[in-house]
Structure 1
Amino acid sequence: MKIIVPVKRVIDYNVKPRVKADQTGVETQGVKMSINPFDEIAVEEAVRLKEKGQASEVVVVSIGPAESQPILRNAMAMGADRAVLVQTQDAVEPLGVAKLLKAIILKEAANLVIMGKQAIDDDMNATGQILAAQLDWPQATFASQVALADGKIEVSREIDSGTERLRLSLPAVVTADLRLNEPRYATMPNIMKAKRKPLETIEAASLGVDFAPRLDIVKVVEPTERQAGIIVSSVEELVEKLRTEAKVV
């Protein structure tokens, strides 16, 4: 069984994003970038399935600029077998990403896609669902536990009322939640080995997919600062402020 793991290059989660002076986006020049944390969890889960003998190959795929190669090497240092970079200079929206991933997945004849539930740069939480629809594959989102048995994949996911268990036929798309696992650190020997693993670069335009943006960004601004709270002396005062100031009752 071949597993595809899409990974995205994002601003490192320890770095506070800064809005560009012209308000056209977020500043990325000179900013530390790394693999999206949810995608790192997906890589770890795919590698664990391979270590159990339930997968024959793990292929990581990224859609972005040439600078995305280090995150692919990092994923291979974690245990992925090879990588594919679908190179594009401009940011690609979830619909376009899903279309490009579909082309790669069909080319690779993959049986399972494990990916992060969302990227921490835009928090769209849409690519996995769109990809499943594009492929017409069953999907399980926000997975907190994954197991393969009898040619099917069993997924536990947290919902408002507790835990939901799904059993899907393969091929399928699974998106990873934070509780799925704890990603391993890449050791120095594995980092050196990853430099020799194959990394294929494909120009996005060569895939014959329409990934043109559908959204226009008008302006990007910093979120407003939260005002300090106040202490009230009685329930009556609280209700009065909720009615006259907050206007929620």
Structure 2
Amino acid sequence: MNIVVCIKQVPGTTEVEVDQETGVLKREGVDSKMNPYDLYAVETALRLKEQYNAVIKAVSMGPPQASVIIQEAFMMGVDDGILLTDRKFGGADVLATSYTLAQGLRKMGDFDLIICGKQTTDGDTAQVGPELAEFLDIPHVAYVRRIVEVTQHSIIVEMDMTNTVETVEVLFPCLITVEKEIFQPRLPSFKLKLQTKDKEIAFYGLKDFTDQDELKYGLNGSPTRVLRIFTPESNIDREIWRGNADELAGKMAAKLQACKLV
């Protein structure tokens, strides 16, 4: 069983500047970490590896420094890692990101199952996983909260539909995105850190892809544009009122009317 787990490096802080021209985050010099939701995807892959003797490849897209999260995946038990990195990939929206990942996966070869985290903390769109599956022309299931069974040809999962829980069977090759309730991620192993410290990571750029049309990648391939982005203003002004219930109710009503909230 060949499993691919998609991971992403995201800012480790909310204090991130935004490029006013392109509307993308300025990631240089910012503390980063593996996307928290992707830890659940990695753990899901590792559980399947332990149970079905699977081989796991971690794939990420980002600048060269994003290789540190692949090394972290090695320390958790992932077997191989690929980083899709090229300046032409910079500034990609969800569509261009999904297309780039799809091209990278086609370059990697055959797989049975792709596992993604539900979403990323820097975008929160939850769209990349399903869009990746569409570009690869494979079935997918989102919001998976439990793996019921794995057969030779399919995987049976429970997906959280907010008001209902549905159980579905999907044939390989396929893609799933997992909820954080699925498993508790393990900590990186110091023993594996020593064993994998010299483990090589494969780097793919645009020149390695079958489709080398630059208009499909990065900002060029992104149909969405951020017109304006800003840090919300914080207001810590406060008033303390004293009085009986009738007086306080009157003051509250007057304040809400003054603020045009009622």
TM-score of the pair, normalised by structure 1: 0.85
1:104 aligned residue: 104
Unaligned runs of 5+ in 2: none
2:68 aligned residue: 70
Query: Per-residue deviation at 1:196?
Result: 3.2
* Whole-angstrom CA distance in 1 between matches of 2:238 and 2:113: 48
1:10 aligned residue: 10
Bigger mean CA deviation after superposition, 77-86 or 104-113: 104-113
Aligned residue among 220, 223, 230 for 1:214: 223
Task: Tell me the secondary structure at the aligned position of residue 181 of structure 2.
Answer: helix
Query: In the alignment, is the contact (CA less than 8 A) between 1:19 and 1:222 conserved in 2?
Result: no
Q: How does 1:41-190 map to 2 (within 5 A)?
A: 41-52=40-51, 54-89=52-87, 90-107=90-107, 108-150=109-151, 151-190=153-192
Query: Per-residue deviation at 1:55?
Result: 4.6
Query: In the alignment, is the contact (CA less than 8 A) between 1:143 and 1:158 conserved in 2?
Result: yes
* Whole-angstrom CA distance in 2 between matches of 1:158 and 1:22: 38
Query: Per-residue deviation at 1:30?
Result: 3.0
TM-score of the pair, normalised by structure 2: 0.81
Query: In the alignment, is the contact (CA less than 8 A) between 2:2 and 2:56 conserved in 1?
Result: yes
Query: In the alignment, is the contact (CA less than 8 A) between 2:19 and 2:25 conserved in 1?
Result: no
Query: In the alignment, is the contact (CA less than 8 A) between 2:3 and 2:113 conserved in 1?
Result: yes
* Whole-angstrom CA distance in 1 between matches of 2:19 and 2:162: 40
* Larger CA Rg, structure 1 vs 2: 2
Query: Per-residue deviation at 1:39?
Result: 1.1
Task: Tell me the secondary structure at the aligned position of residue 145 of structure 2.
Answer: strand
Change (3 A) 1:246 1:164: farther
Bigger strand share? 1
* Whole-angstrom CA distance in 1 between matches of 2:26 and 2:103: 31
Q: What do you get for the CA RMSD once the two structures are aligned? A: 2.9
Unaligned runs of 5+ in 1: none
2:260 aligned residue: 245
Query: In the alignment, is the contact (CA less than 8 A) between 2:48 and 2:54 conserved in 1?
Result: no
Bigger mean CA deviation after superposition, 74-83 or 131-140: 131-140
Change (3 A) 1:229 1:117: farther
Change (3 A) 1:246 1:62: same
Counterpart residue type for residue 45 of structure 2: A
Identity of paired residues, percent? 23
Query: Per-residue deviation at 1:106?
Result: 2.8
Change (3 A) 1:96 1:47: same
1:195 aligned residue: 197
